[in-house]
Amino acid sequence: MSSILIIDDTDKYWELCTRFMPEHVFLPPARNYREAEATLAHARDVDLVLLDVHFDISEAELLPEDKSELFARGDPGRVLERLRRGQGLHILDRLRRSHPDLPVIVMTSRDDLPIEADAERLRAQDYTYLLDEEYLDARSLRLQVEGILAQRARPPAIDEPFYWGQTPRMLGIRRRLSILARGRLPIILLGDTGTGKTLLAREFIHPRSQRTGLFVAVDLSTLPHELMAAHLFGVVKGAYTGATASREGVLARAHGGTLFLDEIGNLSLELQKQLLVVLQDGRYTPVGSVEERTCDIKLVVATNENLAAMVQAGRFREDLYMRLNPATAVTLPPLRERGDDFATLLDEFFVRVAREPYNRDLALQYARQRGLQIPEGDAAMPIMVGRSVSARADPRRLLFLIHPSSYKLLREFHWPGNFRQLEMFLSNLVTLTLVELVDQAELVEPGDPSQASRPDVVPILPRMARDLLKPMEPPKPVAAAADADGEGGGGFNMQVSVRPQESLNAVSCDVERQYLERMFDTYGGDLGRIAEVLLGDAGGGRKVQLRMNQLGIKLRKLKRKRGAG
């Protein structure tokens, strides 16, 4: 719930807002600048101001207070009319001086009043044209209000390495994790691969835990089972052959800090029991030792398996699961479900990859070729979606321009590898785009007219984006049976079942047997046709027959089966 002040000479917007945004408190509207200042002086904690532009108010209430100079220059009637039309901007100018940090949305229902430039000059957070269509107006206002309030709710951005975006779902997760981080209870992080579980544990949870010890991460999916116990609990010399020296385990290293166990589902039932004891009384025994040790750790676990289902299947101990505090488990949504955040995240990842030394060097090289003076230290190269760039962009900065159709492609891509994949994709996109431009620039003469247009804008070619996405598309599902003639451009697709055998050779013979039988069926027993498909030689039917004999396929039996079917 936020406190919002509307500055407007009528009740129109106040009524609209109180009706459509009941979750916020709207203070009684201020009718002019003087009332606005009075309200702001008394009501502490106004979060946002909505400011109309056109004010039909008396001469005495209009800014500026002293109009004599204006009157001297023109017809007083006209002067007042102009002041009324743009009164909101005069008010904004004053508010900027008295309340520099107060967010303001400028709004007008008169589309004949261009307010963009003034709103920007006077550092309004946003502006909006309302259409006198109640529902649509309320919707667009609400989106802007929520966007600005969410930004304000964020603590000052200390360049957080974990990008949160703006959606209420993610801001909710952030709030929850800041609280859980400080407590003693374990935290479960769920989410598909590449959704940021490890990053979150290291860069967000641990720093907020107020613990002085180390952050220690262990990926249990990469540890051989037989080494897990020693790795976690430590081992004493001579505990087993190969234990030539005593070694500390990660529990000891994370003492006083945070232990992050990735892919917790890989822990054996026996080790699960030992971990439970650690959580219950902070006690454990190194492998081969008789002496118990104690530790104080904050445990964060992650998995992309369904732990509850593992408990049901008897593969995860219920008592450990309950102890991990499943009621507060946090699920990080996959990239494709990040909805309206996609644009923000794209932006943030883009700036990150463009800053990588390799991409940065290429960008500086390109800038030099085009005669741009990019300050060395300022390498934040943003990305913009659009067909062209307005003339207002800062020409001392490179700006990447992505075509709306390519943006749509990215937005609708399913991103199975989530942020890890997005980051890699964007890094390739920046590199290849710049390499191509740098190479091109070497070929053109200085003064070539094709080089004249906006050297600060780097267009991302739709072809480039498309080509880089293509290899990441999921493989087409294999057809359940051979397609119509069994040999389209994609080859002969079919499903085979792979059964365990005594050797790999036996497995491949079994698979080969299945597909030869299927081909026999598809081509009506015509061995010449099969040879044509497999060897490109219709005369090779004999070879196929021998091979089938070798594999133990009884041709006569197959023929009889065909005859019966």
Ligand X SMILES: Nc1ncnc2c1ncn2[C@@H]1O[C@H](COP(=O)(O)OP(=O)(O)OP(=O)(O)O)[C@@H](O)[C@H]1O
Site string for ligand X, 279-318 (x = CB under 6 A): -------------------------x--------------
Q: Choose between 150 and 533: whose C-beta lies nearer to ligand X.
A: 150
**196 forms part of the interface with ligand X (CB under 6 A):** yes
Q: Which of residues 250-279 bind Mg ion (CB under 5 A)?
A: 262
Interacting span for ligand X (CB under 6 A) from 46-54, 368-376, 416-424, 473-481? 416-424
Q: Choose between 83 and 264: whose C-beta lies nearer to ligand X.
A: 264
The distance of closest approach from Cβ of residue 241 to Mg ion in the complex, given in angstroms and rounded to an integer, is 33
Q: Are 395 and 308 in contact (CB under 8 A)?
A: no
Identified binder of ligand X from the candidate list 178, 193, 294, 312, rule CB under 6 A: 193
The distance of closest approach from Cβ of residue 197 to Mg ion in the complex, given in angstroms and rounded to an integer, is 5
Q: Choose between 52 and 262: whose C-beta lies nearer to Mg ion.
A: 262
What secondary structure does DSSP assign to 136-199, as a single string?
HHHHHHHHHHHHHHHHHHSPP----SS---S-HHHHHHHHHHHHHHHSSS-EEEE--TTSSHHH
For 313, the token pair is 């299947």
**427 forms part of the interface with ligand X (CB under 6 A):** no
Q: Residue 384 is inside which H or E element, if any?
A: strand 383-385
Q: Choose between 426 and 527: whose C-beta lies nearer to ligand X.
A: 426
Q: Choose between 162 and 413: whose C-beta lies nearer to ligand X.
A: 162
**423 forms part of the interface with ligand X (CB under 6 A):** yes
Residue 71 vs residues 80, 81, 88, 184, 560: alpha-carbon distances, Å:
9, 12, 20, 70, 109
The distance of closest approach from Cβ of residue 181 to ligand X in the complex, given in angstroms and rounded to an integer, is 16
Distance CA 432, CA 440 (A): 12
Q: Which residue is nearest to ligand X (CB)?
A: 196
Which of the choices Mg ion, ligand X, none does residue 191 contact, using the CB cut-off of 5 to 8 A by kind? ligand X
Residue 166 vs residues 146, 277, 344, 559: alpha-carbon distances, Å:
9, 40, 8, 66
**520 forms part of the interface with ligand X (CB under 6 A):** no
The distance of closest approach from Cβ of residue 494 to ligand X in the complex, given in angstroms and rounded to an integer, is 33
Q: Choose between 215 and 520: whose C-beta lies nearer to ligand X.
A: 215
The distance of closest approach from Cβ of residue 300 to ligand X in the complex, given in angstroms and rounded to an integer, is 11
Site string for Mg ion, 196-215 (x = CB under 5 A): --x-----------------
In degrees, to the nearest 5, what angle opens at C-alpha 150 toward C-alphas 149 and 155?
105
The contacts of residue 510 (CB under 8 Å, 6+ apart) are 498, 499, 501
Distance CA 12, CA 26 (A): 13
The distance of closest approach from Cβ of residue 179 to ligand X in the complex, given in angstroms and rounded to an integer, is 19
**195 forms part of the interface with ligand X (CB under 6 A):** yes
Which of the choices ligand X, Mg ion, none does residue 413 contact, using the CB cut-off of 5 to 8 A by kind? none
**Start-end of H helices in 384-417:** 404-412
> How many other C-beta atoms lie within 10 A of the C-beta of residue 266?
17
- Total of chain residues touching ligand X, rule CB under 6 A: 15
The distance of closest approach from Cβ of residue 173 to ligand X in the complex, given in angstroms and rounded to an integer, is 10
Q: Which of residues 249-278 bind ligand X (CB under 6 A)?
A: 262
Closest CA to 279 of 318, 311, 323: 323
Closest CA to 423 of 370, 354, 492, 486: 354
Q: Is the peptide bond before 64 cis (omega within 30 degrees of 0)?
A: yes
246 phi-psi bin (left φ>0, alpha ψ -120 to 50, beta other): beta
What secondary structure does DSSP assign to 8-56, as a single string?
-SSSHHHHHHHHH-TTSEEEEEE-SHHHHHHHHHHS----EEEEES---
Q: Choose between 289 and 421: whose C-beta lies nearer to Mg ion.
A: 421
**186 forms part of the interface with ligand X (CB under 6 A):** no
Which of the choices Mg ion, ligand X, none does residue 163 contact, using the CB cut-off of 5 to 8 A by kind? ligand X
Identified binder of ligand X from the candidate list 20, 163, 413, 515, rule CB under 6 A: 163
Residue 94 vs residues 35, 127, 155, 361, 518: alpha-carbon distances, Å:
13, 17, 27, 44, 82
Q: Choose between 348 and 512: whose C-beta lies nearer to ligand X.
A: 348
Distance CA 256, CA 49 (A): 46
Which of the choices Mg ion, ligand X, none does residue 127 contact, using the CB cut-off of 5 to 8 A by kind? none
Closest CA to 519 of 465, 478, 549, 558: 558
Which of the choices ligand X, Mg ion, none does residue 284 contact, using the CB cut-off of 5 to 8 A by kind? none
**421 forms part of the interface with Mg ion (CB under 5 A):** no
Binding site for ligand X (CB under 6 A): 162-163, 191, 193-199, 262, 304, 419-420, 423
Binding site for Mg ion (CB under 5 A): 198, 262
